[in-house]
């Protein structure tokens, strides 16, 4: 119990201390016009209030990640707390804040455009591929996971395929609506359900006399029943609760609806801290209610949704527990919708297809959903492995973009370089040592090879960075953030 309460307290303290330091290092300009105002189009660029932007950001980035990930991470024991706390404060929240604010300074540009500007145009194609792959996998995972939860509340004649189809129909309808209608109206309701259900789970866990494992020298070991190593697997299993590249695809959406740079710390950094708190509660619940072997068997029986059902009912009873389950259901539904919305806009930017008519929107939307529906037929655990790797590769790219941005502006770039280096090494170790569902065991000197790969990529990164900084005089756009045209665009999707 002490570790859970203390961990949540440290996360909140991190927001007010390290979060303020990151904001100061970025150097906000409260009087600077934002894309929501200067590029207002009634569809993607729409000014919205701070509280609504924060709720949308939280629901966009949350999905089932901060619940399913910590449940599976609970297999490793209290060491999972360490990654959630330090990962969220020093990596995830910094990652989300920097991408959101850099995007805001560049007309709400998505990660591929930012990578093109700060890492070089050839990188844009690689980032586009990884980003679109990630979003496709995220959208698919976040259709599969709520469908499995909803199935538990439906008559026997309703199949998982029928539920999946209904979710896709909801996504298609929402995708063609302006952001303030598709997200701004519904997400505050979803957000209330999420917050209330999370508080209920946490309160019941603390007040119910449950034996909540604490972090100590005796428990700081690998509890995984199958002996799966903590590094690097834990750092991919718990992603959304600590650091997640998926967030880099979502923050630019909210940068297009923010009206003041002063909101950034609360909206981007703060909502990642909130997600860390959600992760702490669910990790503690899974560790407290089930031993490692039982938890492993429950996860293996399908998806972590089985654990979600059991935790909610055991802690809150049938009625309130059911409400809590619906709180979990709204997470992937909202994040899945946001993933497909981001995927469409990124693909549109890449192919230079302006999204100004319903026909053009559907021309990109329908094929994406068809591909995703096909992917739902693949085993969830296999999809999760691919999602995890693509997710953290995207996080590395986002952190390197942020590092280059700070470096070019003579700011403290270590705040993003250090987590970028750690995650880059983890990505190398993971791809070399793990089959990732393909049954490939390379049999190479994993850690040495990964260290060499990390060193080579960072050397190339710094070499290109020095050249870029030397050439700033010939490309002032790199040093001076792009200021949006003051011309206001009227109208919405026709």
* 128: CATH: 1.20.1740.10
Q: What is the pLDDT of residue 491?
A: 38
Torsion, CA 124, CA 127, CA 132, CA 133, rounded to 10: 140
Give domain status of residue 484, yes or no: no
Say how far apart CA 4 and CA 9 lie, in whole Å.
Answer: 9
Give domain status of residue 489, yes or no: no
Give domain status of residue 219, yes or no: yes
Read off the DSSP letter of residue 331. Answer: H
Give domain status of residue 274, yes or no: yes
Give domain status of residue 184, yes or no: yes
Say how far apart CA 210 and CA 139 lie, in whole Å.
Answer: 35
410 φ/ψ sector (left φ>0, alpha ψ -120 to 50, else beta): left
Cβ atoms 420, 394 nearer than 8 A: no
The torsion angles phi and psi of 176, rounded to 5 degrees, stand at -90, 0
Question: Where would I find the H helices in 27-152?
Answer: 35-38, 50-62, 65-73, 79-87, 93-104, 111-119, 121-151
Give domain status of residue 390, yes or no: yes
Instruction: Count CA atoms within 13 Å of residue 279 on its CB side.
Output: 38
Can you say how many angstroms the Cα of residue 383 is from the centroid of all Cα atoms in its chain? 16
Cβ atoms 131, 346 nearer than 8 A: yes
Say how far apart CA 319 and CA 342 lie, in whole Å.
Answer: 35
Q: What does the pLDDT look like over 460-471, one tens digit per residue?
A: 999 999 988 887
Q: What is the pLDDT of residue 440?
A: 45
Query: End-to-end CA distance of the chain, in Å?
Result: 55
Q: What is the pLDDT of residue 268?
A: 97
Give domain status of residue 357, yes or no: yes
CB neighbour list of residue 219: distance below 8 Å, 6 or more residues apart: 77, 78, 79, 213
Q: Quick one: how many helices (H) and strands (E) in the chain?
A: 22, 0
Positions in the chain whose pLDDT score sits under 70: 63-64, 175, 179-180, 182-184, 302-303, 331, 379-385, 434-444, 473-480, 482-494
For 223-253, give one letter per residue: b (16+ CB within 10 A) or e.
bbeeeeebebbbbbbbbbbbbbbbbbbbbbb
Q: What is the pLDDT of residue 191?
A: 76
Q: What is the pLDDT of residue 438?
A: 42
Structure tokens at 51: 């509280």
Number of domains within the chain: 1
Give domain status of residue 485, yes or no: no
Residue 51: how many other CB atoms lie within 10 Å: 13
Q: What does the pLDDT look like over 138-155, one tens digit per residue?
A: 788 778 777 877 887 788
Q: What is the pLDDT of residue 412?
A: 97
User: pTM for the complete prediction?
Assistant: 0.86
Domain carrying residue 457: 2-478
Say how far apart CA 482 and CA 116 lie, in whole Å.
Answer: 14
């Amino acid at each position: 119990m002490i570790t859970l309460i203390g961990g949540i307290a440290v996360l909140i303290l991190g927001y007010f201390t390290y979060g303020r330091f990151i904001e100061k290092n970025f150097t906000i300009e409260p009087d600077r016009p934002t894309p929501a105002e200067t590029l207002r189009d009634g569809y993607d660029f729409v000014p919205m209030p701070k509280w609504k932007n924060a709720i949308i950001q939280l629901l966009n980035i949350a999905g089932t990640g901060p619940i399913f990930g910590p449940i599976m991470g609970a297999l490793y024991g209290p060491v999972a707390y360490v990654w959630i706390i330090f990962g969220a404060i020093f990596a995830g929240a910094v990652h989300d804040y920097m991408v959101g604010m850099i995007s805001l300074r560049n007309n709400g540009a998505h990660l591929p455009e930012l990578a093109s500007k700060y890492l070089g145009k050839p990188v844009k194609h690689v980032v586009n591929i990884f980003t679109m792959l990630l979003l496709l996998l995220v959208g698919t995972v976040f259709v599969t996971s709520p469908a499995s939860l909803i199935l538990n509340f439906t008559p026997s004649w309703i199949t998982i395929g029928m539920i999946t189809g209904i979710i896709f129909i909801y996504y298609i309808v929402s995708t063609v609506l302006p952001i303030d209608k598709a997200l701004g109206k519904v997400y505050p309701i979803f957000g209330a359900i999420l917050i209330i259900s999370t508080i209920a789970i946490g309160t019941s866990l603390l007040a119910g006399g449950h034996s909540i494992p604490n972090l100590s020298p005796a428990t700081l070991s690998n509890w995984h029943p199958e002996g799966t190593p903590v590094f690097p697997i834990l750092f991919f299993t718990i992603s959304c609760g600590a650091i997640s590249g998926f967030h880099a695809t979502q923050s630019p959406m909210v940068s297009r609806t923010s009206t003041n740079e002063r909101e950034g710390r609360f909206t981007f950094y703060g909502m990642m801290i909130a997600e860390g708190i959600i992760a702490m509660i669910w990790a503690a619940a899974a560790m407290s209610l089930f031993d490692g072997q039982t938890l492993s068997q429950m996860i293996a029986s399908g998806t972590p949704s089985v654990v979600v059902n059991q935790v909610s009912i055991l802690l809150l009873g049938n009625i309130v527990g059911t409400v809590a389950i619906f709180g979990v259901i709204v997470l992937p539904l909202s994040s899945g919708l946001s993933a497909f919305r981001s995927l469409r806009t990124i693909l549109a930017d890449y192919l230079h297809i302006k999204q100004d008519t319903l026909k053009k929107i559907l021309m990109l939307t329908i094929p994406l959903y068809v591909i995703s529906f096909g992917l739902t037929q693949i085993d969830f655990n296999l999809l999760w492995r691919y999602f995890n790797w693509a997710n953290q590769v995207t996080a590395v790219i986002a952190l390197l973009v942020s590092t280059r941005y700070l470096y070019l502006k003579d700011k403290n770039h270590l705040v993003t370089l250090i987590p970028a280096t750690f995650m880059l090494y983890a990505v190398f170790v993971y791809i070399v040592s793990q089959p990732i569902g393909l049954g490939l065991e390379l049999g190479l000197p994993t850690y040495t090879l990964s260290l060499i790969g990390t060193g080579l990529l960072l050397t190339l990164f710094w070499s290109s960075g020095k050249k870029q900084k030397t050439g700033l005089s010939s490309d002032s756009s790199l040093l001076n953030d792009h200021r949006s045209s003051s011309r206001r665009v009227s109208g919405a999707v026709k």
